Amino acid sequence: MTQFAPLIPLCPLIGFLILGLLNKRLPKKAAGILASVTVLVSFIFSLNIFLSISGKSVVVPFLDWFSAGNLSVSFSFMLDPLSSLFLLIITGVGFLIHIYSIGYMHDDENSNIFFAYLNLFIFFMLLLVMGSSYLLMFVGWEGVGLCSYLLIGFWFKNNAYNNAAKKAFIVNRIGDLGFLLGMILIFMTFGSTNYTAVFSQAQQGYYPETSFTGNSVVTIITLLLFIGAIGKSAQIPLYTWLPDAMAGPTPVSALIHAATMVTAGIYMIARSSILYSLAPITMFVVALTGVVTALFAASIALAQNDIKKVLAYSTVSQLGYMFLGLGVGAFSSSVFHVLTHAFFKALLFLGAGSVIHGLSGEQDIRNMGGLRKKMPVTAITFLLASLAIAGIPPFAGFFSKDEILSAAYNYNKFFWLLGLIGSSMTAFYMFRLYFLVFHGEYRGKPDLHAHESPKVMTIPLIILAVLSTIGGFIGIPESLGGKSLIAGFLNPVFAYAQHNLLEMPSGSISELMLMAITVVVVIASIVYARNKYVVHKDLPVAEGLKMARIPTIIYHKYYVDEIYDILITKPLDRISEFLERVFDLKIIDGMVGAAGKLIQWVGGKLRLLQTGNVDFYLFAMVIGIVLMLFFKMR
């Protein structure tokens, strides 16, 4: 089956090419169907591979790309449990979102392009996870960044959206530089960027071409790669693009900025688990970044009023959990969380999209309320997803998040505590959102008749809702009597790394304790939210009214964007102006110009020496002779 692997990314690429080249000549319906079908085909292939892979790791060569000296890169694909799982997520969720988009985008004039972009995105994302080397991963990595840019700025007439798109791309690029340098250092250390070569050498502690010594080079490599991951997966300090990225159409948010692209960072670290396991310092940095981000983003989400913004910060926060998992060495738990998060976060976004669609573009939760009755399917699926993300057993999120938290507990109890606070916040803001949107009275424009979305949109919702509900069962931990299928499935990939890290003391009693604590805290948060927003009908303060200090800061997202603006963007502009106006034009070019002027000036003066008086000429001549003889006189 693996020989068909190249077809998996190629299908969406073909779809993209057809859509891109034909563009408006293709009927809208056909475009949507074509785009979906290509992804479906990929999904089928992926499923096939997923089922047949069973712990193997296969490299499928496809095409040579380039080589220079001992550096040689080819388009070859690596199929192993990790990549096949991601393939499944990408194509599966991707397919559902394609279908959903047919409905969501049906009245947009450029929908064909939209589908082309989506297909292109799927292509790059598949390349990212299938690539058998870091360089190919980087290709996909950058490619998804581009698609993200294109899709965020899909409504290109709106400059705010364009700014968001640009910001996403540029911030991503900051991370990409780290990735690039890390990749080069990998090449310099191991003489290759192919996973197999790199990992086998790393395992043997064999660093043939390095100028650094042993472990420190791995630390540097992993840190550099982690910078890449920070950018792509929206961690502190590069997370700011993701909330803004919500400018794009909602399916995009669901697909790219929740389910797939942003998890690329997780994938990368999971993929490099062997390297990371050799670099404890990096692991700590990862964990720390993850937990801080989780908490930080969750706190921002508490006070947001834009339905998609809440979800966006929630995504950032959840990604933080995943990094926490990675950092504490629970690689498979993180990947598990990626999977479940893909289900429920996609579902949340699609649900939000459905709401927005139903309310003709309204995004402010202060103008919603009581939609439960008008949009029952959306409401129910949204509730399920909220339960999943909040971590109520037995929904999907519970299992994955809990694994991470328990691993964190073993690693560092303080991290666990922070994680716990974060998850209580998660529960609170999610249900704040849910209650404000679906419960209470409708507060929006009176003439707007909210309606349930068409089937083509609701069916994906339902499917995802089912997955969000039962998806967790593949990872029931041993402490609950399960077998943790997913951990077993991924074991071949992470075995070395797990082995390499310290054996964690894990007692099932304490694990159960932790679960209980979490569940209690989460439920308490939900109850508090219900109390506040349903019983007391408390509403977020409207725009422009005075808030208490701390909520103000949170509402303004800790002013991070503004701080970046003052610290980086504005100074950069000013430096740019200064360099051109002063340094380039005045100093450097000024010196060149001054040399020219000086010569001109000297020329102007020198010609005055030509006085026209023969007297002077004769004098000059004789003095010349005198001087000449004088210097020759010895």
Partner 1 sequence: MITLLLILIPLFSSLLILSVPARFAKIFAFAASFISFAVTLAVFISFPVSADYQYLIDYNWIPSLGIHFKVGIDGISILMVLLTTFLTPLIILSARNEDNHTPVFYALILFMEMALTGVFVSLDGFLFYIFWELALIPIYFICLLWGGVNRVNITIKFFIYTLTGSLFMLVALIILYLHTPNHTFDINDLYHAGRSLDSRMQGILFLFFILAFGIKMPIFPLHTWQPDTYTTAPAQGSMLLSGIMLKMGIYGAIRWLLPMLPEAVHEYSVYVMWFAIAGVVYASVIAITRSDMKRLIAYSSIAHVGLIAAGIFAFNIQGLQGGIVQMLSHGVNVCGLFFVADIIQNRTKTREIPLLGGIRSKAPMLATAFLIIMLGAVALPLTDGFVGEFLLINGVFHFSPYMAALGGLTIILGAVYMFRAYQRTALGETSQATDHFTDLTLTEKAVLIPLVIMVLFIGIFPQVFLNISEPAVVKLLSGY
Partner 2 sequence: MMQKYLFIILGVFAVLSALMVVFEKNPVHSVLYLVLAFFSVAGEFVLLNAQFIAIVNIIVYAGAIMVLFLFVIMLLNLNKETEPHKALWMKFGAVVTGGLLFLVMVSSLKVADSMEVQSLHSGIGTIQQLGKVLFTQFLLPFEVSAVLFLAAMVGAVMLSKKDIK
Partner 3 sequence: MDAIIKGVPLNWYIILSAVLFCIGVMGVLFRRNAIIIFMCIEIMLTAVNLLTVAFSVYHNDSGGQVFVFFTMAVAAAEVAVGLSILVVMYRNTRSTDIDVLNRLRG
Where does this chain bind partner 2 (CB under 8 A)? 615, 619, 622-623, 625-626, 629-630, 632-633
Using the minimum distance from each CB to partner 2, give the nearer residue, 485 or 621: 621
The residues that bridge with 68 in the sheet, in sequence order, are: 71
Stretch that binds partner 1, among 176-184, 262-270, 358-366, 468-476 (CB under 8 A): 176-184
- CA–CA separation, 139 vs 145, rounded Å? 10
Q: Which of 55, 496, 79 is nearest to 274 (CA)?
A: 496
Token couple for 334:
């993180």
Q: How far is CA 171 from CA 97, 414, 468, 559, in A?
A: 26, 30, 31, 17
The string of DSSP codes covering 91-129 is HHHHHHHHHHHHHHTTT-TTHHHHHHHHHHHHHHHHHHH
3-state secondary structure of 274: helix
Stretch that binds partner 3, among 221-229, 264-272, 449-457, 608-616 (CB under 8 A): 608-616
Q: Which of residues 554-573 bind partner 1 (CB under 8 A)?
A: 572-573
3-state secondary structure of 77: strand
Whether residue 61 contacts residue 130, with contact meaning beta carbons closer than 8 Å, is answered with no
CB of 79 to partner 1, least distance (A): 21
CB of 566 to partner 3, least distance (A): 59
610 binds partner 3 (CB under 8 A): yes
Q: How far is CA 541 from CA 333, 551, 552, 555, in A?
A: 38, 10, 10, 10
CB of 467 to partner 1, least distance (A): 32
Using the minimum distance from each CB to partner 2, give the nearer residue, 545 or 629: 629
601 binds partner 3 (CB under 8 A): no
Which of partner 1, partner 3, partner 2, none sits in contact with 610, Cβ below 5 to 8 A by type?
partner 3
Stretch that binds partner 1, among 94-102, 163-171, 293-301, 505-513 (CB under 8 A): 163-171
Stretch that binds partner 3, among 227-235, 312-320, 424-432, 604-612 (CB under 8 A): 604-612
Kindly tell me the burial class for residue 120, based on how many C-beta atoms sit within 10 Å of its own C-beta (0-12, 13-18, 19 or more): buried
Residue span 589-608 as binding mask against partner 1, x where in contact by CB under 8 A, dash where not: x--x---x------------
633 binds partner 3 (CB under 8 A): no
Backbone angles phi, psi at 399, to 5 degrees: -65, -45
CB neighbourhood size of 482 (10 A): 15
Whether residue 406 contacts residue 336, with contact meaning beta carbons closer than 8 Å, is answered with no
Using the minimum distance from each CB to partner 2, give the nearer residue, 548 or 628: 628
602 binds partner 3 (CB under 8 A): no
Using the minimum distance from each CB to partner 1, give the nearer residue, 163 or 363: 163
Which of partner 1, partner 2, partner 3, none sits in contact with 630, Cβ below 5 to 8 A by type?
partner 2
Token couple for 590:
């000024």
181 binds partner 1 (CB under 8 A): yes
Q: Which of 305, 341, 309 is nearest to 322 (CA)?
A: 341
CB of 632 to partner 3, least distance (A): 16
Token couple for 420:
């716990």
Q: Which residues contact 428 (CB under 8 A, 6 or more apart)?
A: 302, 525, 526, 528, 529
- CA–CA separation, 368 vs 439, rounded Å? 9
Which of partner 3, partner 1, partner 2, none sits in contact with 562, Cβ below 5 to 8 A by type?
none
Using the minimum distance from each CB to partner 2, give the nearer residue, 509 or 609: 609
Size of the site for partner 1 (CB under 8 A): 47
- CA–CA separation, 426 vs 445, rounded Å? 29
Reduced 3-state DSSP string for 554-579? HHCHHHHHHHHHHHHHHHHHHHHHHH
CB of 617 to partner 2, least distance (A): 13
Q: Which of residues 184-203 bind partner 1 (CB under 8 A)?
A: 184-185, 187-188
CB of 634 to partner 2, least distance (A): 9
DSSP state of 581: I
629 binds partner 3 (CB under 8 A): no
Token couple for 211:
């100028």
Q: Which residues contact 219 (CB under 8 A, 6 or more apart)?
A: 279, 281, 282
Using the minimum distance from each CB to partner 3, give the nearer residue, 587 or 622: 622
- CA–CA separation, 283 vs 384, rounded Å? 33
CB of 625 to partner 2, least distance (A): 7
Which of partner 3, partner 2, partner 1, none sits in contact with 629, Cβ below 5 to 8 A by type?
partner 2
Stretch that binds partner 3, among 48-56, 477-485, 542-550, 613-621 (CB under 8 A): 613-621
Reduced 3-state DSSP string for 173-238? HHHHHHHHHHHHHHHHHHCCCEHHHHHHHHHCCCCCCCCCCHHHHHHHHHHHHHHHHHHHCCCCCC
CB of 633 to partner 2, least distance (A): 5
Residue span 361-390 as binding mask against partner 3, x where in contact by CB under 8 A, dash where not: ------------------------------
169 binds partner 1 (CB under 8 A): yes
Whether residue 232 contacts residue 172, with contact meaning beta carbons closer than 8 Å, is answered with yes
Q: Which of residues 62-91 bind partner 1 (CB under 8 A)?
A: 64-69, 71
> Among 9, 12, 32, 153, which residue sits at the site for partner 1 (rule: CB under 8 A)?
153
Using the minimum distance from each CB to partner 1, give the nearer residue, 478 or 589: 589
> Among 588, 594, 622, 628, which residue sits at the site for partner 3 (rule: CB under 8 A)?
622
The site for partner 3 (CB under 8 A) is made up of: 607-608, 610-615, 618-619, 622
The site for partner 1 (CB under 8 A) is made up of: 64-69, 71, 135, 138-139, 142-143, 146, 149, 153, 156-159, 162-163, 166, 169-170, 173-174, 176-177, 180-181, 184-185, 187-188, 572-573, 575-577, 579-580, 584-585, 588-589, 592, 596
